[in-house]
Amino acid sequence: MRILHITGTLSEGGLETFLITLLPSLKQQIPGSTMDVLVLDKNKDSMADEFERSGIHVIHGKYASVRNPLNLFFLYKYIRRYDFIHAHLFPAQYFVALISLLCRKKRIFVTTEHSAWNRRREKPWLFRPVEKLVYRCYDAITAVSKAAKIALDTWAGTGRRSLVVYNGIPLRRFINATGYTKKEIGLKSEDVAVIMVARFFSQKDHLTPVRAIALLPEKYHLFYVGSGDTARCREEVNRCSVGHRVHFLGRRADIPRLAKASDIGVLASFYEGFGLSTVEIMAAGRPVIVSDIDGIREVVEGAGLLFENGNERDLAEKIRYLTEHPAVYEEVACRCEQRSLDFNIDTTVKEYTTLYTNLINGRGIK
């Protein structure tokens, strides 16, 4: 079976992190398969070498914009060579849907819904009719959470062809990691390290944690792990006069060790489908506090704490409460680690293997 995954970028983000874990294992589970990735934006493929080293061939885009309509012709050229096409995110989902109308014979088309909300849903009069047609072109639609599935089914009427396949992580990599000491990350032993692992872009709310740290005593430090444009966040750091307590680490390969070195994990988002980094922090045995929004609420259900979206005082109070009540801290940390066990990459691989095999054999998604 020749399988092609298509995405807009291959730089840094939850999707890329998930795919580089999923695809090599999925390839091993499907005997005789080839597993390739096509990335549309030729300038955003910095993780390509990592995929190649993992045995996943990367096809590099021809154009500098994922929205370039000429991508249709570029995609058509390659899609014809594969039996199974799996599209991720807009606008790749649109392009692949159109191409499926031209070369559907003996091919399976799948897409994944990675979020419970997107900006296109602010204009239902324009995008809802279009997306009903787009999603109808796919043989199956996986959603990364129940919230993402419910939102999509309500929006585009996809209930009969959609199913939930939770993202997963290599749990042992985080459970067994050896964390840095406080000294190694530039802190005193009594300091509190709060970590947020998230790329700097419009979906994530990096400003609220900064404002929360400004409300807390000097011993509280915030570590941001992730690439992207940090200018606006740095302005807020300066405005709040917490430059000595907010640390920008950029993209890192040692997230398991950083997670273990932290005391508390935070994820502040405006909208979310899953929140892979939250599972990583939980697997490291640390309590998490996340925005009370669809998708991520489901991931930490019964384990981590929720704060009102955009409310820095609520976030600060919960951070402080955990650190000042050791018994509560240990209880929440234990619940979080236990909850992370529900998101093992091995389970995700099995579910995708079953889905792919059933679709190829004409048995549908059940």
| Residue 175 and residue 41 share a domain | no
Separation CA 291–CA 99 (nearest Å):
38
Task: Look at residue 364 in the predicted model and tell me its pLDDT.
Answer: 87
| Residue 209 and residue 110 share a domain | no
Structure tokens at 127: 């995008």
Reading across the β-sheet that carries 246-250, which strands appear in turn? 246-250, 220-225, 192-197, 264-267, 288-291, 305-307
Structure tokens at 130: 């279009």
| Residue 78 and residue 60 share a domain | yes
Question: In 101-214, which residue ranges form alpha helices assigned H by DSSP?
Answer: 124-136, 146-156, 171-175, 207-214
| Residue 275 and residue 312 share a domain | yes
Task: Look at residue 25 in the predicted model and tell me its pLDDT.
Answer: 97
| Residue 219 and residue 164 share a domain | no
Task: Look at residue 219 in the predicted model and tell me its pLDDT.
Answer: 99
Q: Indicate the number of domains in the chain.
A: 2
Of the candidates 71, 60, 54, 57, which has an alpha carbon nearest to the alpha carbon of residue 9?
A: 60
Task: Look at residue 240 in the predicted model and tell me its pLDDT.
Answer: 99
Structure tokens at 334: 């234990």
Task: Look at residue 363 in the predicted model and tell me its pLDDT.
Answer: 87
Asked whether residue 135 is domain-assigned, the answer is: yes
| Residue 64 and residue 151 share a domain | yes
Residue 154 belongs to domain with CATH number = 3.40.50.2000
Task: Look at residue 12 in the predicted model and tell me its pLDDT.
Answer: 82
Task: Look at residue 221 in the predicted model and tell me its pLDDT.
Answer: 99
| Residue 191 and residue 326 share a domain | yes
Q: Give the residue numbers spanning the domain of 251.
A: 171-342
- 8 Å CB contact between 258 and 225: yes
| Residue 301 and residue 268 share a domain | yes
Task: Look at residue 258 in the predicted model and tell me its pLDDT.
Answer: 99
Asked whether residue 366 is domain-assigned, the answer is: no
| Residue 14 and residue 116 share a domain | yes
Cut 0.75: pTM above it = yes
Which residues of the chain carry a pLDDT beneath 70?
Answer: 366
DSSP string, 290-336: EESSTTHHHHTTTTSEEE-TT-HHHHHHHHHHHHH-HHHHHHHHHHH
Task: Look at residue 309 in the predicted model and tell me its pLDDT.
Answer: 96
| Residue 150 and residue 175 share a domain | no
Task: Look at residue 365 in the predicted model and tell me its pLDDT.
Answer: 84
Asked whether residue 159 is domain-assigned, the answer is: yes
